Amino acid sequence: SDDNNDIGDGDGGQLAHRFPSAIIIGVKKSGTRALLEFLRLNPAVKAPGPEVHFFDRHFDRGFDWYRRQMPLTTADQLTIEKSPSYFVTKTAPERVHRLDPTMKLIVVVRDPITRAISDYTQTASKRPGMPSFEHMAFINATNAVLPKMTPANAQGVNTSWGAIRIGIYHRFVSRWLEYFPLHQIHFVNGERLITHPAEEIAAVEKFVGLRPTVRAEDFVLNTEKGFPCIKRTDGTTHCLGKTKGRAHPKVSPHAISRLRTFYAPLNDRFYELIGRNFGW
């Protein structure tokens, strides 16, 4: 072998569909697509294009079906999959563990308020005439299902709305921790993935055991949208698709401040659980 592109040589030369050794399990709308696209700058990383949704929707198809959804790789490459719905799927931790108790789990997290607004923006883009964010986020007489008011919910936040519920990270992480040790879960800072993509990617490369190859020079900031794009060696740039980096609606400062009060103790429980503070 004469250069480092020649990763197909030697014992690992046999092309096969292999199970992933790492999965990006969530969190939806935190930058999961950006993470996967940026990680693929490392030539050793291989991933299926679409989300596979095996551990939530298609589990009855069996492990061999799952394996066959994976790209052809040599043994020295790293197969990785991302399906952000796994994070909130009750049965997923046990199922992933059953496949491979050594699976490395990657979770992108961002401020649950921004995440909720992003989630809302995505839903509203598909559902014209959807009520305002504020209308959805707080309990009011016209909500079809009125959740119980609890002390934790003195802000009248509508925790039965998925966009709000998914941001209660500690609840979901606790379930994963019943099956996987904390050191097998890597958290990506979704805010820093936007401002410092190379650093966040380097941390993931280290976590999955790859030689770091992604560098700051691989990115260029799209000044129009404010998000980083990939700078290719031929000088062209590649940004994520139109559905990533959408303009968010203006949410009233009062609503934001009620959500801050609501999420503050929940974020603290998350930080305590994982031993890391994101400062939201």
Instruction: Write out the residues near ligand A3P by the rule CB under 6 A.
Output: 28-34, 84, 118, 121, 193-194, 227-228, 240, 244-246
From residue 265, alpha-carbon distances to 137, 152, 178, 280 in Å are 18, 9, 22, 11
Nearer to ligand A3P, 84 or 93 (CB): 84
Nearer to ligand A3P, 7 or 198 (CB): 198
Structure-token pair, residue 39:
């990680």
Nearer to ligand A3P, 57 or 238 (CB): 238
Nearer to ligand A3P, 70 or 230 (CB): 230
Least Å distance, CB 31 to ligand A3P, is: 3
Least Å distance, CB 108 to ligand A3P, is: 7
Least Å distance, CB 179 to ligand A3P, is: 23
Residue 209 DSSP SS3: coil
From residue 23, alpha-carbon distances to 29, 154, 219, 230 in Å are 16, 36, 24, 22
Least Å distance, CB 225 to ligand A3P, is: 7
Nearer to ligand A3P, 141 or 247 (CB): 247
Nearer to ligand A3P, 29 or 258 (CB): 29
Q: For residues 71 and 216, what is the distance between their CA atoms, to the nearest angstrom?
A: 27
Least Å distance, CB 178 to ligand A3P, is: 24
Backbone φ and ψ of 73, nearest 5°: -140, 160
Least Å distance, CB 146 to ligand A3P, is: 28
Helix (H), strand (E) at residue 79: strand 78-82
Least Å distance, CB 99 to ligand A3P, is: 23
* CB of 139 closer than 8 Å to CB of 248: no
Backbone φ and ψ of 236, nearest 5°: -80, 160
Single-letter amino acid, residue 232: R
Least Å distance, CB 207 to ligand A3P, is: 18
Backbone φ and ψ of 279, nearest 5°: 70, 25
What does the buried/exposed string (b/e) look like for 40-64 if buried means 16 or more CB atoms within 10 Å of the residue's CB?
Answer: bbbebbbbbeebbbbbbeebeeeee
* CB of 167 closer than 8 Å to CB of 112: yes
Nearer to ligand A3P, 41 or 139 (CB): 41
Nearer to ligand A3P, 139 or 229 (CB): 229
Q: For residues 104 and 183, what is the distance between their CA atoms, to the nearest angstrom?
A: 9
